[in-house]
Amino acid sequence: MALCTTIFWFGQADLLNESFTNAQFPPPGWDTLRSDTIMGNWYQYNYTGPSGPDSFHARLRVYDAADTLRTGWSCLKTTDLDLAMSPGTESLFFWYRFSQDVNNLGPDDTMFIDITNNDSTWYDLLKFGQGTDTNVWQIASFDLSPYDSFDNARIRFHYEDRPNDSLNQWNCNFWLDSVRVTNTGGSIIMPIAQAFEDLDSNYIPDRLNSSVTITGVVTAPPGVFADIEAYIQDSTGGICLFGDFNDPLVYGDSIIATGTVDQYQGKNELTNFTYSILQYSAAIPEPIDINANTLNTEIYEGMLVRMKISYIDALIFEGNTNYNAWDTLDVPFIVRIDSYTDIPGSIAPLDTFTLIGIKGQYTYSMPPDDGYQLMPRATSDFSHLFEQVIYDIAEVQCPGTDGVTSKYVDSTVTVEGMITGPNYIFTSGSPSFYIQDSTGGVNIYDMGGDQSFLDHIDSLGARIRVVGTVTEYNGLTEVAHGYGWFLQMDTVPLPKRLGSNRFLTESMEGLLIEFRGIVKTPPYKTGDGFNIDVLNGEAGMTVRFTTASLINPLSIKKDDERIFTGIVGQYDSEEPYTSGYQVLLRFDDDIRIPGYDSASAQPIMDISGPKTFIPGIGEQAEIMINAPVSHRLDLTIHDMNFRCVKTLYSGAGGAHTLYWDGKNDYARPCKIGIYLLNLKATAPDGTSKSVRQLIVIGTQF
């Protein structure tokens, strides 16, 4: 095949633009001729598979498996063109491909593209002989300036067939699309490889700082690596366009661009450019299969390549990060993950995989002969990634055989929940915050993410997803050293009410809780914060806050009764990490003075929290009753035979909060089962009214 490597272009003033999408074929003014009926005619075809500029094109069978000795010719001629009328010079463009996976023509067959001014004398422009350009759409182009005086020009696609008994059994077609003759004005269009060639082998383009015009198909549009960066590729090479993109570009746009040959940190670029779109939805070039030895050289820079990787030194991909990788020959190279892509936060494959990407370069060396990188554009460039499963937080918190350390310690997990403890309260330098789902809560530590993630780690109720490693720090379970995403704003989980006399336990770690307690020691300084010793009924516990909470330690006095809201944390520096549980306050309103409700007009009874409680693990039922102060209240508890097992209250009306520990009047544990709470309110006139509710004593399995 012989192709001219330079053409001309000016303003896209089309003298001819035919895509064969109309029903009429040949198009108006065009002709299709053949030597005899043995030869096939050109015809319109609608191809539903992978196509070039569009699904319609002109097609000709250039080899017939049923008649290998066929001889003749078939041609398709354009309408008349007045090349002399328009100023400047003209160029011919067209898309073509052959539909066979071996040599596309016999040794004596030829596809001629020629031109005439009188329909009798023809001048060769291009010709295609035997070659391997098959199954891939390509753009052919030719400078028509030698024919600028032609005022009655026609261009012909002329195939001459010879006996082809050496070809195989398959038919072979020539496909033609988007034939354009365009006024050019004089800018030389070069193949990308020629525009950026380095004949003196100093790793710097010979045309550095010169203006060139190139064409290519977009393989990475703006926004993949940066808003001011895109990559295009033709059949000879690929290049980075660096600058402003006024018109949107997407994958598969075929463009023409004029700009300055430039280089930055070893990477060749076209800068200060202008561009126009030639065609939408063109076929994106197939990636070139290479190995690490090739990637670590200058060849194929800017082009789409594909590599088989045996190992990459990564767990969770982070943005703007280089990773060491090794191909199947155990040769090392660099994979670059850009923060603009959707790759950060993905877990790297643990086995051999295939990766597609743009071959880039970034180096400070002179000459710039190293720093080559494989740059994937999206997660879809990976043959596969490690599949992420979102775990319930309670599952991640579940202890292993020692009863306290998570069974997932040192494992990579993905969890999702709403922020209950913002970063600005709990950070000690590295990001640190708490999230909670419907099953539990956990600390998130040293987590990277995009800007949206970082903007929301101080926002209560922000729904966050993170992938990281389960670690233990002084007894506290963390999901750490990974990557996170902000999903949306959501509702902050309500605190779980802790019953009276209940201690803090491992199962509560990371949860937002609330309880009523008595201050036994005023705040005392420990580390960068303050601790308070508090009694929850008879159960002692530690409440902690830092200066970031804006809580005034002088406002908390010994024997104050307060309602505390906070997150259950842990700090135990010694194995087996079975102590050191704390309630971590976040804000100044996490400490409240209890509100004592006024008496109600009617008798009321309410069970705070679940109606099932487990006395065997220290749980108590919290029961609130209320009635006019003039009434007498009697709260009794009955088994299902209506036998009274416990008189919980007998006294004046008003608001009361009571606790039942599951024991009867003889301080013996009641059996597991259903019980009836019976509140009787007796008025001064002797009339009474009762309110009843069921409650359940459960057990732990």
Residue 651 belongs to a domain with what CATH number? 2.60.40.2550
CATH number at residue 225: 2.40.50.200
Domain tally for the chain? 6
Residue type, 475: G
Mean pLDDT across 586-600: 78
* Least reliable range by pLDDT among 130-134, 309-313, 459-463: 130-134
Q: With bands split at pLDDT 50, 70 and 90, how would you rate the model's confidence at 7?
A: very low
User: Read out DSSP for 275-316?
Assistant: EEEEESSPPPPPPEE--HHHHTSSTTTTSEEEEEEEEES-SB
Mean pLDDT across 647-662: 89
Residue 366 shares a structural domain with residue 464: no
Q: Which string of b and e fits 547-571 if b means at least 16 CB within 10 Å?
A: eebebeeeebeeebebbbbbbbbbb
pLDDT in tens, 362-395: 999 999 999 999 999 999 999 998 877 899 999 9
Q: Which has the closest alpha carbon to 460: 492, 496, 427, 503? A: 492
pLDDT at 577: 84
* Least reliable range by pLDDT among 100-104, 193-197, 432-436, 466-470: 100-104
How many beta carbons lie within 10 A of that of residue 700, not counting itself?
7
Residue type, 470: V
Model pTM score: 0.50
pLDDT in tens, 75-107: 999 999 998 887 667 888 888 888 876 677 888
Residue 587 shares a structural domain with residue 613: no
Instruction: Give the three-state DSSP class for 589.
Output: helix
Residue 363 shares a structural domain with residue 470: no
pLDDT at 9: 39
Residue that is last in its domain, among 562, 592, 622 = 592
Among the ranges 196-210, 222-236, 495-509, which has the highest mean pLDDT value?
222-236
Place of tokens 């090794």: 326
CATH number at residue 412: 2.40.50.140
Asked if residue 599 is part of any domain, the answer here is no
CB 659 within 8 A of CB 537: yes
Is the pLDDT confidence value at 275 over 60? yes
pLDDT in tens, 484-529: 989 999 989 989 988 888 899 999 999 999 998 899 999 999 988 9
Q: Return mean pLDDT, the chain.
A: 89
- Assign residue 687 a region (left: φ > 0; alpha: ψ between -120 and 50; beta: otherwise): beta
Residue 95 shares a structural domain with residue 162: yes
Is the pLDDT confidence value at 596 over 60? no
Residue 630 shares a structural domain with residue 512: no
Asked if residue 270 is part of any domain, the answer here is yes
pLDDT at 571: 93
pLDDT at 595: 64
Q: Which string of b and e fits 593-630 if b means at least 16 CB within 10 Å?
A: eeeeeeebeebbbebeeeeebbbeeebbbbbebbbbee
Asked if residue 351 is part of any domain, the answer here is yes
Asked if residue 651 is part of any domain, the answer here is yes
Residue 12 shares a structural domain with residue 149: yes
- Separation CA 487–CA 477 (nearest Å): 23
Q: With bands split at pLDDT 50, 70 and 90, how would you rate the model's confidence at 6?
A: very low
Using a pLDDT cut of 90, give the percent of the chain over it. 59
Residue 82 shares a structural domain with residue 100: yes
* Least reliable range by pLDDT among 361-375, 532-546, 610-624: 610-624
- Separation CA 390–CA 626 (nearest Å): 45
Mean pLDDT across 530-534: 96
Instruction: Give the three-state DSSP class for 553.
Output: helix
Dihedrals φ, ψ of 341, to 5°? Answer: -80, 175
pLDDT at 2: 32
Higher pLDDT: 314 or 52? It is 314
pLDDT at 607: 87
Residue 167 shares a structural domain with residue 22: yes
Among the ranges 56-70, 193-207, 630-644, which has the highest mean pLDDT value?
630-644
Q: Cα dihedral sign for 335, 340, 343, 345?
A: positive
Which residues lie closer than 8 Å to 66 by C-beta, 6 or more apart?
none
Asked if residue 597 is part of any domain, the answer here is no
Burial of 33 (0-12, 13-18, 19+ CB in 10 A): middle
CB 145 within 8 A of CB 6: no
Residue 11 shares a structural domain with residue 150: yes
Asked if residue 2 is part of any domain, the answer here is no
pLDDT at 8: 38
Dihedrals φ, ψ of 548, to 5°? Answer: -65, -20
Residue that is last in its domain, among 146, 167, 188 = 188
Beta strand 90-98 with 138-143 is antiparallel
Is the pLDDT confidence value at 461 over 60? yes
- Separation CA 336–CA 344 (nearest Å): 11
Q: With bands split at pLDDT 50, 70 and 90, how would you rate the model's confidence at 178?
A: confident
Burial of 577 (0-12, 13-18, 19+ CB in 10 A): buried
Q: Which string of b and e fits 174-194 if b means at least 16 CB within 10 Å?
A: bbbbbbbbbbbbebbbbbbbb
Residue 197 shares a structural domain with residue 255: yes
Beta strand 561-570 with 581-584 is antiparallel
Q: Which has the closest alpha carbon to 358: 342, 377, 371? A: 377
Q: Which has the closest alpha carbon to 122: 41, 189, 33, 18? A: 33
pLDDT in tens, 238-252: 999 999 999 999 999
217: containing domain: 190-279
Is the pLDDT confidence value at 5 over 50? no
The widest CA-to-CA distance across the chain, in whole angstroms, is 126
Asked if residue 544 is part of any domain, the answer here is yes
Q: Which has the closest alpha carbon to 490: 470, 464, 526? A: 464
Asked if residue 80 is part of any domain, the answer here is yes
- Separation CA 415–CA 479 (nearest Å): 8
- Separation CA 168–CA 341 (nearest Å): 45
**What are the tokens at 286?**
């197939």
Residue 362 shares a structural domain with residue 230: no
Residue 511 shares a structural domain with residue 654: no
* Least reliable range by pLDDT among 31-35, 187-191, 448-452, 467-471: 187-191
Mean pLDDT across 289-306: 97
Residue that is last in its domain, among 145, 168, 188 = 188
How many CA atoms lie less than 13 Å away from 110 in the CB half-sphere? 9
DSSP letter at 549 equals G
